[in-house]
A and B are shown apart, each in its own frame.
Chain A
């Protein structure tokens, strides 16, 4: 199975900051990567697919980049509603594994 590593597990930031969240794959996955946002007590929400394509309805302050093994989720001008946990997921091969998540906390 392909392993996805998200480090750090926790990230402290302030409203208005730009935040970057990395995700590293154990082998090349082209651009088959998705990002999800999860808030407490809620199901994950698809933010970005194909590494950099914004899901419909997602604010443009969210962006994704990368290919191969290195990927990044960037949140520009962090808003109060963005404090949540973010997961990456690879869709290059079965099973479509998840990273362990990065929690963005209020500084």
Chain B
């Protein structure tokens, strides 16, 4: 079936980096933009960036410019988000999500909790 499976929870110290993976299956990886959205505890959904898996072109939310990098490995149908210089307020669940045209995000990963604490 169509699904996105993310890597497991991470615990990091302030200033460190984290890289989360999102493996796609059940559809043509290159056909859909991949987005990354995060959700801090008790908060709403925050868009971070998007990746065109076909071209590798990325766009980032201004808030994360310079700290976030989206990449992909098409040979294994996997997208990645790397966030650098972590702070305590980066503690959140990070989701990858597939964009279906102009309809919305129809497939989501299960989420990856990233905890940042000294």
Contact = CB atoms under 8 A, between A and B. Distances in A.
Interface of A: 32, 34, 36, 43-46, 49-50, 53, 55, 87, 89, 91, 94-101
Contact of B45 (A46, A55, A87): A87
Contacts of B99: 96
B105 A44 contact: yes
A102 to B, nearest CB: 10
Contacts of B108: 43-45
Given A44-B45, A97-B47, A89 B104 contact: yes
29 contacts: A32-B102, A34-B103, A34-B105, A36-B104, A43-B95, A43-B97, A44-B95, A44-B108, A46-B103, A46-B104, A46-B106, A49-B100, A49-B103, A49-B104, A50-B103, A55-B106, A87-B45, A89-B105, A91-B104, A94-B59, A95-B50, A95-B59, A95-B61, A96-B35, A96-B47, A97-B47, A98-B45, A100-B44, A101-B45
Interface of B: 35, 37, 44-47, 50, 59, 61, 95, 97, 99-100, 102-106, 108-111
Contacts of A91: 102-104
